[in-house]
Structure 1
């Protein structure tokens, strides 16, 4: 039983995030996940206004 748990824990694969496409008018957010990743990036970079965190 312990071996099964150990084996299943070692098989976890981290999903890679796909890049956000850029069009001729800027970034193209195609899903809610894209929007969330973009918002987190803006907040972490420090370019968002202080009251928006």
Structure 2
């Protein structure tokens, strides 16, 4: 059974998109006090880059 979706997940995506996809994932992770690996995983799973292709 899957857990609740983290509200930080949507915040991270909005931060990245709000900067035109140029904000570093480590900076997003630091701003949200979460691991960079987690942000990288969300970016891949949610296909953040599809908007720019």
Give yes or no for TM over 0.5: no
Greater RCO (Cα-Cα under 8 Å, separation 6 or more): 2
More strand by share: 1
More helix by share: 2
- TM-score, structure 2 length as denominator? 0.28
When Rg is computed on C-alpha atoms for both structures, the one with the higher figure is: 1
